Amino acid sequence: MKALLVDDEQDICEILEFKLQMLGFSCDHAYTGNEAIDLCKKNNYELIISDIRMPQGSGIDLIDFLKSKGQNLPAIIFLTGHTEVPEQELLDLGVLTILEKPIDFDKLLSCVKQNLL
């Protein structure tokens, strides 16, 4: 299975990759929303884990792009605690789970196992 990890904090992507590799995922990283969109144009992903607020395109921009292309991908979005996007709006976009930072990795892995494995 292939996952896209999107966060402007590189260390978060590296930790997520380590955790997901233990579940059998191969991972690509993007550090901006626009970089994530470019990767989605070239690759198919079973899972996208994205921050909402990033430079050069947000997590919501990424999901809007995927929806416009007819792709219905599972997604987990981390809230930074500073976002003004209502939780229901994110769920309506197709987000599986909304987690706040600091990330509870046990909760994240449980969600991935429940919904994808």
When pLDDT is cut at 50, 70 and 90, the band that residue 5 belongs to is very high
Task: Pick 10-84+96-104's CATH classification: 3.30.300.30, 1.10.3720.10, 3.40.50.2300, 3.40.190.10.
Answer: 3.40.50.2300
**All structural domains of the chain with their residue ranges:** 10-84+96-104
The SS3 of residue 77 is strand
HEC string of 12-68 equals: HHHHHHHHHHCCCCEEEEECCHHHHHHHHHHCCCCEEEEECCCCCCCHHHHHHHHHH
- For residues 27 and 20, the answer to whether their CB atoms sit within 8 Å is yes
DSSP 88: H
Amino acid occupying residue 29: H
Global pTM reads: 0.89
Q: In what order do the strands lie in the sheet with 2-6?
A: 26-30, 2-6, 47-51, 75-79, 97-100
Write out pLDDT tens, residues 21-68: 999 999 999 999 999 999 999 998 999 999 888 889 888 889 888 888
Separation of alpha carbons 98 and 87, rounded Å: 8
